[in-house]
């Protein structure tokens, strides 16, 4: 017979496992509809036609199902099967089914190709918004999506080769089978530039290419050498750099030769990475690997830079997306969690932190979408000039701001934030990577100098865009004057390149937000980022700002 409960001096919970004051997962919400900055931004960038598609997509990326795919793709990382059981090389990377689901979802929606396949005003901005939603689920699978998207402008430099490959690249489909490209209706493309002895300085590449003849697509070569970082090695082909007798040259290297035999692209191992875990990054050796030449011999950097420019654009987008995910998680948590008798979201200091995180998102998204808009106007010289400097400025600034942002968002969740079952832990591990690959911070800052020195219209295009935001905020006006003076300073430019890139990025973000018309956001951004203090942590916004309005813009309200 059970004993009666013993009398107790206080009213203890009957069930010690009763859970309360824990935040429900942020899922089964519409990640687009609840995002005010994104909704307004796509309309401003000329992609209003895509609102319905984006809303539909946001419902999917916010669903428990798709969110779960992101977790699974990271919990079960890709594995290398280098040989079969009989000792033959197979060079196969096996991914969890959820990675394939994410890839399929993105590729069938055209995230890798839509603006090239169906160009129209706003096409790049619409695609950018889709990528922004997708990247919030998982950053890793974005790598092959981005490389496939980015390969298109470079491949067009070899017209006959493009004729063969582009229909498969542009197709809205995903075919992960490890079979020759000509048996597939849809393919993905990777990139191999970095070698052991040099990544930023690709002129140090030692991989050699020897001409073997030509076919209906292009001149053909064999490559011997290695690549130190080749991500997404199950891509169907890779744009690679190798040395010919005329210097560094760009090639398209397929996984399978045109005769249907396995190409000499041998995976040595997969990198054990701290982040970007769902994406495989490999070390490879090239043993007489078949390749087609893309662009002229000796013009390899000039050719592949067409691809690199686009991957840098996507780095900026990806980091903005991870900031959005972090801010949304932080606001969501603060709305549900109470401490010291009040919800966190009602506590003044937490409001300051949350609003500051959201301000960062607003600035990042505004700059990224402005670059998308410039991509949508390739005929305009001033837009091309704006893009030329805006890509390194944006890639440098947005990617570099992300680790601290992810850390602060994580801290908003307290201890839970560092636990792998919460996405904030993954956001933090992933955050530094976009700043390093596709040209690290210094390389971007130096590229800003190069753009200013070598492309005559760049400075005027940037200043003209900055000037559009003048008049509403004396602090912004003063910062724009300072940056104009900094552009004139010629002394020791390399040493000051980061300082200049910082100023260019912050003033442009301030100007774009001032132009966008949301007074609360623009006032707070300018007051907190363009005033006198620069050594601040998140959460030190000056008093008197409309922090509630700013937080509401980022609140997923679930
Ligand atoms: C997860 C991951 C995946 C990757 N995937 C790929 C891939 O698929 N394909 C590919 O080709 N590469 C890939 N990379 C490689 C990446 O692009 C390089 O690591 C990056 O370009 C830096 O090159 P590095 O590692 O050789 O560093 P280094 O070039 O040695 O640079 C080291 C540091 O020196 C700085 N530096 C270099 N030159 C200067 C200078 N002149 N002045 C001041 N500072 C300078 C750099 O900014 C950097 O901080 C990947 C990297 C990572 C982390």
Round to whole Å and give the CA distance between 182 and 165.
Answer: 9
- φ, ψ for residue 226, nearest 5 deg: -150, 165
Ligand 1 pocket, mutate which of 196, 396, 437 (most atoms under 8 A from CB)? 437
Kindly give the distance from the C-alpha atom of residue 232 to the centroid of ligand 1, in angstroms, as a whole number.
17
Q: Which residue has the higher pLDDT, 133 or 492?
A: 133
Tokens of 315: 């780095």
> Using CA atoms, how far apart are residues 448 and 431, in angstroms rounded to an integer?
22
Helix or strand run (H / E) with residue 414 = none
pLDDT at 172: 98
Q: Compute the Cα dihedral for 530, 536, 538, 540 and give only its sign.
A: negative
Nearest by Cα to 518 from 378, 403, 358, 411: 358
The mean per-residue pLDDT over the stretch 89-115 comes to: 98
**What pLDDT score does 382 carry?**
97
Per-residue pLDDT, 491: 86
- Regarding the beta carbon of 229 and ligand 1, being less than 6 Å apart is answered yes
Per-residue pLDDT reduced to its tens digit, 318-333: 999 999 999 999 999 9
Confidence label for 220 from pLDDT (cuts 50, 70 and 90) = very high
Q: Is the pLDDT of residue 1 over 60?
A: no
Please state the rounded mean pLDDT for residues 383-399.
98
pLDDT band at 6 (very low <50, low <70, confident <90, very high): very low
The candidate with the shortest Cα–Cα distance to 234, out of 267, 259, 260, is: 267
Token pair 């493309």 is at which residue? 189
Q: pLDDT tier at 11 (50, 70, 90 boundaries)?
A: low
- On whether the CB atoms of residues 165 and 404 are closer than 8 A, the answer is no
Above 70 in pLDDT, residue 314? yes
Tell me if 437 CB under 6 Å of ligand 1.
yes
Given a cut of 80, whether residue 139 has pLDDT beyond it is yes
Helices (H), 205-347: 300-336
Mean pLDDT, all residues of the chain: 96
Helices (H), 80-225: 97-108, 114-117, 123-135, 142-155, 159-170
CB-based contact 304:249 (threshold 8 Å): no
Cβ(436) – ligand 1 distance below 6 Å: yes
> CA–CA separation, 409 vs 390, rounded Å?
27
Nearest of 385, 364, 265 to residue 321 by alpha carbon: 364
CA-nearest residue, atom 37 of ligand 1: 200
Cross-strand partners of 41: none
d(CA 156, CA 166): 8
The pLDDT value recorded for residue 524 is: 97
What pLDDT was estimated at residue 16? 79
> How many Cα atoms occupy the beta-carbon half-sphere of 400 within 13 Å?
18
Longest dimension (CA), the chain: 93
- With vertex at residue 344, the alpha carbon angle to CA 342 and CA 345, rounded to the nearest 5 degrees, is 110
Which of 86, 35, 110 shows the shortest CA–CA distance to 558? Answer: 35
What per-residue confidence (pLDDT) applies to 490? 79
Say what the pLDDT of residue 427 is.
98
Q: How far apart are CA 459 and CA 442, in angstroms?
A: 20
pLDDT beyond 90 at 199: yes
Token reading at 403: 């680790």
The verdict on the CB of residue 443 being under 6 Å from ligand 1 is: yes
Residue 4: is its pLDDT beyond 70?
no
- Ligand 1 touching residue 442 (CB < 6 A): yes
Tell me what the mean pLDDT of segment 341-348 comes to.
Answer: 98
Could you give the CA distance from residue 336 to residue 358 in angstroms, rounded to a whole number?
Answer: 18
CA distances from 492 to 18, 201, 486 (A): 64, 21, 12
What is d(CA 106, CA 524) in angstroms, rounded to the nearest whole number?
A: 35
How far apart (Å, rounded) are the C-alpha atoms in residues 69 and 75? 10
CB 394 within 8 A of CB 367: yes
d(CA 558, CA 59): 13
Query: Mean per-residue pLDDT for 179-190?
Result: 97
CB 441 less than 6 A from any atom of ligand 1: yes
pTM: 0.96
Confidence of residue 7 (pLDDT cuts 50, 70, 90): very low
Distant-in-sequence, close-in-space partners of 410: CB < 8 Å, separation ≥ 6: 326, 417, 418, 424, 425, 427, 428
Average pLDDT over residues 73-101: 97
For residue range 264-303, list pLDDT tens digits in order.
999 999 999 999 999 999 999 999 999 999 999 999 999 9
CB distance 440 to ligand 1 below 6 Å: yes
Residues of the chain with pLDDT > 90, as a percent, come to 94
Q: Is the CB of 123 under 6 A from ligand 1?
A: no
Q: Give the Cα-Cα-Cα angle 160, 385, 489 (nearest 5 degrees).
A: 135
The SS3 assignment for 55 reads helix
């Amino acid at each position: 017979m059970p004993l009666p409960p013993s009398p107790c001096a206080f009213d203890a919970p009957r069930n010690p496992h009763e859970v309360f004051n824990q935040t429900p997962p942020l899922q089964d919400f519409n990640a687009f509809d609840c995002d005010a900055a994104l909704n307004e931004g796509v309309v401003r960038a000329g992609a209003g036609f895509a609102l319905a598609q984006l809303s539909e997509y946001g419902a999917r990326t916010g669903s428990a199902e798709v969110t779960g795919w992101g977790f699974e793709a990271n919990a079960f990382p890709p594995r290398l099967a280098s040989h079969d059981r009989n000792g033959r090389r197979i060079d196969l990377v096996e991914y969890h089914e959820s990675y394939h689901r994410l890839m399929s979802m993105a590729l069938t929606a055209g995230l890798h190709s839509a603006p090239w396949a169906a160009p129209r005003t706003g096409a790049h901005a619409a695609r950018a918004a889709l990528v922004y939603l997708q990247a919030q689920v998982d950053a890793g699978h974005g790598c092959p999506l981005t490389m496939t998207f980015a390969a298109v402008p470079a491949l067009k430099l070899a017209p006959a080769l493009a004729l063969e490959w582009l229909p498969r690249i542009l197709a809205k489909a995903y075919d992960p089978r490890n079979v020759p490209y000509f048996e597939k209706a849809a393919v993905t493309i990777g990139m191999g530039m970095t070698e052991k002895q040099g990544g930023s300085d690709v002129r140090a590449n030692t991989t050699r290419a020897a001409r073997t003849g030509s076919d209906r697509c292009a001149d053909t070569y064999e490559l011997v050498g290695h690549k130190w970082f080749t991500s997404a090695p199950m891509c169907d082909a890779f744009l690679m750099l190798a040395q010919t007798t005329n210097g560094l040259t760009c090639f398209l290297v397929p996984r399978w030769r045109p005769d249907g035999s396995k190409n000499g692209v041998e995976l040595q191992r997969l990198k054990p990475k701290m982040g970007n875990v769902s994406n495989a990054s490999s070390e490879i050796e090239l043993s007489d690997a078949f390749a087609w030449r893309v662009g002229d011999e000796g013009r390899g950097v000039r050719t592949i830079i067409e691809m690199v420019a686009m991957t840098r654009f996507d780095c900026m987008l990806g980091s903005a997306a991870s900031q959005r995910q972090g801010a949304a998680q932080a606001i969501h948590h603060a709305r549900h969690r109470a401490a010291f008798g009040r919800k966190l979201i009602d506590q003044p200091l937490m409001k300051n932190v949350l609003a500051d995180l959201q301000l960062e998102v607003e600035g990042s998204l505004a700059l990224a979408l402005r670059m998308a808009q410039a991509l949508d106007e390739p005929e305009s010289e001033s837009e091309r000039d704006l893009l030329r400097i805006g890509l390194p400025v944006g890639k440098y600034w947005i990617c570099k701001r992300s680790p601290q942002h992810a850390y602060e968002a994580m801290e908003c969740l307290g201890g839970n934030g560092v636990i792998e079952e919460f996405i904030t832990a993954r956001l933090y591990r992933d955050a530094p990577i976009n700043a390093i690959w596709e040209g690290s911070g210094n390389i971007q800052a130096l590229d800003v100098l190069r753009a200013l020195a070598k492309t005559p219209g760049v400075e005027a295009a940037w200043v003209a865009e900055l000037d559009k935001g003048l008049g509403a905020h004396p602090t912004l006006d003063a910062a724009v004057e300072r940056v104009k003076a900094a552009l004139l300073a010629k002394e020791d430019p390399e040493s000051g390149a980061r300082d200049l890139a910082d100023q260019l990025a912050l003033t442009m973000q301030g100007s774009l937000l001032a132009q966008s018309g949301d007074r609360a956001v623009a006032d707070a951004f300018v007051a907190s980022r363009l005033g006198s203090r620069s050594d601040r942590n998140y959460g030190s916004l000056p008093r008197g700002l409309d922090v509630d309005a700013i937080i509401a813009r980022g609140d997923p309200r679930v």
